[in-house]
């Protein structure tokens, strides 16, 4: 949100009230609180008729500083609030000097000058960012020059802060964004919407950004947050919210990777998906016609062609039209669903079904939900409904514990029938002119609704399937949503531009705390060319999770050409062989918060060439993947400094330069970093097998005398084998400890 018209002039009707000095202060329980008047207090007369801000500085953990600024303390705080891991006591070390306070947490220090007021963040002695006059403020719109307003003092009130951007500093994250990867120059609105993958709006909005300097900022606000990333004042990231309160955390890394790790310490680590989820998923697609015979023909067609399919997904039309959601099988095409699910299980597959939290009025659940108060209501007491997506659809009110349980009970019937997991679609178009059971603020619930929705389903899966076997396929998210994996990128078109957009959005999401991510191989809308499908298949099967899914056409490879069958088979089997390495990477995502698919800036922060790279990524610590985004079969990629080994051919290449070369469909630029030990599986017909008993080790440019250690997990994610490899000349000393 913009409050300035250029550097010298404010927007018409806008007044900005920024702290001028620290007046009173109190230090208690490692928290600094102070009164910050927005006019200089030259004499006692200056304390009348003005706006004061009350500011509180604390630290929930080393290397994290929290700043809360309030205008009117008497304005009631309404939830919901993000589910954060906050301790009872601050760990901030506060030192007062004549002209300043120095507030330190670990190596991170916030310096607050008393008069004139300013804020400077440092890491040790290194400058990170700052706020000066006018950056932190209470803003009044429709301001007429009076400190009162007939409509109430909270009307047209906003809180904002700007933090400086240094020369060459790049800003990333803010959720799954399909706009340019580096966010400098962009206005970003944190407001979940269903808009596909080719616009500025997003399904997964996260009010957290990370800087190339190795720090991040989390706005602790579920409601709409507006970020001006060098787009209003080009030397500032400004963030603002409507109301009387501004609450944010500044998180020190000191690297990009460590910043994301600390962010997930605060907001929650991703759960660990079971090994079977890393295999190939196949969908019925959306509006296609299908019945049990069609489903079985797809499954048998994949297996007969040597493609180790692992999960079959039933999209929307497993339920009757106009009934979404009823959670009842359409008996016209699935007369024996329980028997069918058993027949699919007998082929070695798991089963996913599509759901959402919208209840169309033709659903048998609508009347039940309405009569029991389980649906979100309008202020006049009516059930909120509209006709977009489903005719007369309503929303389940997850703030009502009975509705929460009612929703779970309906899904439990499906789990007892043989369903293994759910695709939790939608959850973005949530109205704000409504009333919730627990009185939640509807502005905050707009983004937060998806958290309750996915949490409700995930908790049921953990209860029924066990903690290690719960998985979702979710589209929408907010802060903390990473705890309920997996998320996919939403509705993309079926061309190279959309494939590129999808990766760009996924990399931004990975920098926003999410550990696992997928996308619709081949694209969702329309039907891709065989060329795009084959290139997307290689990319999709070198992502953390892999799903073939479309809208109006099937995504089985033989619908494209026979070479597509070869490509899908080759890369599905390759992924199965990579599983000892990939599952180690998944365990790191779960325990540390480091994503499986890592932007290049995360692994190579010192390499300036990596700061803008958004068409390639690191899959774990050691593998570089560069999908091909053109119909010329030309690979274009950058290798950072060091020696890299082509995974397929063993060819060595020196880094620190770009490469361009032809590439057939059965290959993709897949390079192994120097000083790497890769555990490859000896099984390629399924992703879930005993990794610690079925592996072989590959060594890549190990530095002489320098030990390299990895671990091989078991299927529960435990470290089953510790491997240390040390090279001595032409010989390798290998220690394997179980």
- In sequence order, what are the residues at sequence separation of 6 or more whose Cβ sits closer than 8 angstroms to the Cβ of residue 556? 282, 298, 301, 302, 548
User: 173 has which bridge partners?
Assistant: 209
d(CA 173, CA 193): 17
431 by Cβ neighbours in 10 Å (0-12 / 13-18 / 19+) ranks as: middle
The DSSP secondary-structure symbol of 465 reads H
One-character DSSP codes across 30-74 = TEEEEEEESS---SGGGGSS--EEEEEEEEEETTEEEEEEES-TT
Is residue 598 within 8 Å of 605, Cβ to Cβ? no
How many angstroms separate the CA atoms of 4 and 160, rounded? 12
How far is Cα 402 from Cα 404, in angstroms, rounded to an integer? 5
Q: Residue 415 contacts by C-beta under 8 Å, 6 or more apart in sequence?
A: 460, 461, 464, 465
Question: Is 621 tagged catalytic?
Answer: no
Taking Cα atoms as reference points, which of 471, 322, 328 lies closest to residue 393? Answer: 322
Q: 187-224: buried (b, 16+ CB within 10 Å) or exposed (e) per residue? A: bbebbbbbebbbeebbbbbbbbbbbbbbbbbbbbbbbb
Catalytic position from the list 194, 247, 258, 425: 425
Cα angle at 723 between 717 and 729, to 5 degrees? 155
Burial class (CB in 10 A: 0-12, 13-18, 19+), 34: buried
444/440 Cα distance (integer angstroms): 8
CA 337 to chain centre: 34
Query: Do 373 and 382 touch, CB atoms closer than 8 A?
Result: no
Please report where in the chains the tokens 């501004």 appear, as a residue: 246
Tokens of 507: 């990399």
Peptide bond into 538 cis (omega under 30): no
Under DSSP, is residue 597 helix (H, G, I), strand (E, B) or coil?
Answer: strand
Q: Determine the straight-line distance between the first and last CA of the chain, rounded to whole angstroms.
A: 56
State the catalytic residue, choosing from 63, 135, 315, 491.
491
User: b/e for 527-559, b at 16 or more Cβ within 10 A?
Assistant: bbebbbbbbbbbbbbbbbbbbbbbbebbbbbeb
3-state secondary structure of 251: strand
Q: Judge if the upstream peptide bond of residue 197 is cis by omega within 30 degrees of 0.
A: no
Other beta carbons within 10 angstroms of residue 245's beta carbon come to 18
CA nearest 282: which of 270, 294, 271? 294
- Angle at which helices 401-417 and 337-345 cross, to 10°: 60
Phi and psi of 183, rounded to 5°? Answer: -85, -5
SS (H, E, C) 273-337: CCHHHHCEEEECCCCCCCCHHHHHHHHHHHHHCCCCEEEEEECHHHCCCCCCCCCCCCCCCCCCH
Q: Catalytic residue, from 428, 520, 603, 688: name it.
A: 428
Strand partners, 352: 313, 421
How far, in Å, CA of 526 to CA of 190, rounded? 29
Residue 428 among the catalytic residues: yes
Torsion, CA 303, CA 309, CA 315, CA 319, rounded to 10: 60
Closest CA to 225 of 207, 201, 213: 207
Tokens coding 673:
């970093």
Catalytic residues: 425, 428, 491
């Amino acid at each position: 949100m913009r409050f300035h018209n250029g550097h010298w002039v404010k927007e018409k009707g806008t007044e900005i009230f920024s702290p001028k000095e620290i007046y009173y202060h109190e230090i208690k329980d490692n928290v600094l609180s102070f009164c910050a008047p927005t006019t200089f207090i030259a004499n006692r007369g200056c304390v009348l008729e003005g706006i004061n801000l009350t500011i509180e500085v604390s630290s929930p953990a080393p290397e994290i500083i929290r700043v809360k600024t309030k205008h009117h303390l008497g304005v009631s705080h309404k939830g919901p609030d993000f589910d954060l891991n906050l301790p009872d006591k601050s760990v901030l070390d506060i030192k007062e000097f004549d002209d300043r306070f120095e507030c330190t947490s670990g190596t991170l220090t916030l310096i607050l000058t008393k008069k004139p007021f300013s804020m400077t963040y440092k890491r040790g002695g290194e400058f990170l960012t700052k706020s000066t006059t006018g950056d932190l403020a209470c803003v009044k719109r429709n301001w007429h020059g009076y400190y009162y307003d007939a409509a109430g003092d909270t009307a047209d009130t906003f809180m904002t802060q700007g933090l400086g951007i240094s020369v060459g500093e790049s800003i990333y994250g803010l959720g799954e964004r399909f706009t340019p990867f580096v966010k400098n120059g962009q206005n970003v609105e944190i407001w979940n919407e269903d808009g596909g993958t080719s616009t500025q709006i997003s399904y997964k909005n996260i009010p957290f950004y990370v800087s190339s300097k190795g720090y991040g900022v989390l706005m602790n606000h579920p409601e709409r947050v507006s970020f001006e990333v060098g787009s209003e004042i080009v030397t500032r990231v400004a963030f603002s919210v409507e109301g009387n309160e501004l609450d944010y955390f500044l998180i020190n890394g000191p690297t990009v990777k460590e910043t994301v790790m600390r962010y997930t310490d605060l907001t929650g680590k991703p759960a660990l998906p079971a090994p079977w989820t890393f295999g190939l998923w196949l969908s019925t697609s959306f509006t296609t016609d299908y019945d049990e015979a069609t489903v079985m023909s797809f499954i048998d067609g994949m297996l007969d062609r040597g493609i180790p399919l692992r999960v079959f997904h039933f999209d929307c039309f497993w339920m009757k039209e106009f009934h979404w959601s009823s959670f009842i099988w359409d008996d016209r095409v699935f007369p024996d669903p329980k028997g069918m699910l058993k027949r699919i299980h007998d082929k070695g597959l798991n089963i996913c079904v599509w759901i959402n939290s919208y209840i169309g009025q033709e659903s048998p659940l609508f009347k039940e939900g309405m009569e029991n108060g389980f649906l979100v209501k309008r202020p006049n007491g009516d059930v909120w409904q509209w006709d977009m997506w489903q005719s007369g659809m309503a929303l389940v009110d997850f703030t009502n514990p009975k509705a929460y349980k009612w929703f779970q009970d309906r899904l439990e019937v499906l789990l007892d029938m043989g369903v293994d997991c759910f695709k939790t679609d939608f959850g973005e178009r949530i109205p704000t002119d409504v009333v919730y059971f627990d009185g939640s603020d509807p502005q905050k619930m707009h983004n937060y609704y998806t958290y309750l929705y996915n949490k409700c389903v995930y908790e049921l899966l953990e209860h029924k399937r066990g903690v290690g076997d719960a998985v979702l396929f979710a589209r929408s998210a907010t802060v903390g949503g990473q705890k309920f994996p997996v998320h996919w990128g939403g509705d993309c078109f079926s061309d190279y531009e959309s494939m590129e957009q999808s990766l760009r959005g996924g990399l931004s999401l990975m920098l926003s705390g999410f550990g696992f991510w997928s996308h619709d191989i081949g694209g969702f809308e329309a039907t891709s060319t065989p060329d795009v499908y084959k290139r997307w298949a290689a990319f999709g099967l070198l992502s953390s999770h892999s799903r073939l899914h479309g809208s109006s056409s099937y995504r089985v490879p033989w619908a494209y050409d026979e070479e597509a069958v070869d490509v899908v088979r080759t890369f599905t089997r390759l992924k199965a062989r990579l599983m000892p390495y990939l599952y180690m990477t998944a365990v790191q995502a779960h325990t540390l918060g480091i994503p499986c698919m890592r932007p290049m800036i995360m692994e190579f922060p010192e390499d300036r060439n990596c700061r803008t790279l958004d068409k390639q990524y690191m899959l774990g610590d050691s593998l570089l993947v560069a999908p091909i985004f053109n119909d010329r079969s030309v690979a274009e990629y950058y290798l950072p400094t060091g020696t890299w080994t082509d995974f397929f051919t063993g060819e060595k290449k020196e880094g620190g330069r770009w490469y361009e070369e032809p590439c057939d469909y059965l290959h993709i630029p897949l390079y192994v970093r120097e000083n790497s030990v890769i555990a490859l599986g000896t099984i390629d017909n399924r992703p879930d097998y005993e990794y610690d008993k079925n592996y072989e080790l590959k060594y890549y440019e190990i530095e002489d005398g320098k030990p390299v250690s990895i671990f091989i997990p078991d299927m529960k994610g435990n470290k089953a084998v510790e491997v240390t490899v040390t090279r001595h000349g032409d010989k390798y000393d290998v220690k394997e400890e179980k």
